[in-house]
Structure 1
């Protein structure tokens, strides 16, 4: 499924950028400037599923944590090493591909109590803004769509580094996290424990452990 073929509307158009004063750090002191070594990384990337994990963790029965991930997704990333604010990301996940390691639990998650994969086969994150907030630390704001409901979320991203692997591919690593209230996206399962607490917490931590690969330049 070519959700992100090169003729999609995601392709960036060059714009004339008016120089702006340096962005100041949150403390109002030293200006935050991108590492010049990142400039050559400017371009389009895709997530390498074999070495990445897009997952979640949620408190279960108030005493344990259940962790899971999505095995199937498509991605398109654009990283601007000279001006991180121009970077973009889009990820579309198959809701039916959720995997927590327990077949019965996965069947519950893809059912109507949670993701309702039959009626809503995709969930999507699309960035709307990127801000550099520290050395190798970025704040990415975006729209998260689950079950046809779209709400803003903020990811805290850490740049890990980049290498050229033995096969000649350029790779870059990022870790990202955010916490959402699942009920805001219609995931309203509310079974209670005998003690009065929730069987499944409303707070869900989303985790993006990303290994990205540089795509070939557009010819």
Structure 2
């Protein structure tokens, strides 16, 4: 990973207002439906001196799923899919992070959906770091990962009259992450919600 002029080692919290963790799936075999989880919390620990100590943790609130269709979102929250009432969170905890080339990482970890936990590998691109208008050091990461939803108990489907299925069994996870580094006094106790505070200040400045 290119550190440029910034010290990227340390602890980082996702800025939920500028982070998208979503998914895409084929509908009726012809169109793509995209959605995201609006309630996201995540933390990164980056250690350049001992990369094996780097780690990532992400938690999504299932009830916040948003595909721009109330009926579809309610169905996704139901027992046919995520069963948000029984399993309200989707969680990912890294077990290893490797740098495979400049600005390219591979994150290994455990993904838990419903009551199923499986190890997945997620390729992630580091897209850069800079200080924003308020002095916060931000870093960007992007990546995608395809998986079979049936492996996590998301098996609901309907056959089409012409053949095929209403919802694709393979889905693509999509990661667009903006993370803010904990610095100074904030380094000891800033939580993942710190990004919201940055966003509130920004909104007041714009106003």
TM category (shorter chain) comes to 0.7 to 0.9
Residues 16 and 41, structure 2, Cα contact 8 Å, conserved in 1: no
Match of 1:202 among 166, 169, 183: 169
Against the structure 1 CA distance between its residues 196 and 214, is the aligned structure 2 distance closer, same or farther, given a 3 Å change threshold?
Answer: same
**1:21-32 superposed matches below 5 A:** none
Shift of 1:82: 3.7
**1:41-190 superposed matches below 5 A:** 41-190=8-157
Residues 45 and 212, structure 1, Cα contact 8 Å, conserved in 2: yes
Give yes or no for the alignment of 1:217 onto 2:187. Answer: yes
Paired residue secondary structure (2:78): coil
Shift of 1:68: 0.2
Question: Taking CA–CA contacts closer than 8 Å with sequence separation of 6 or more, which of the two structures ends up with the larger relative contact order?
Answer: 2
Partner of 2:193: none
Against the structure 1 CA distance between its residues 130 and 171, is the aligned structure 2 distance closer, same or farther, given a 3 Å change threshold?
Answer: same
More helix by percentage: 2
Count of paired positions: 186
Shift of 1:188: 0.6
TM-score, normalising length from structure 1? 0.81
Aligned partners of 1:101, 1:73: CA distance in 2, in Å? 17
Residues 95 and 122, structure 1, Cα contact 8 Å, conserved in 2: yes
For the aligned residue pairs, the C-alpha RMSD in angstroms reads 1.5
- Unpaired segments ≥5 residues, structure 2: 190-207
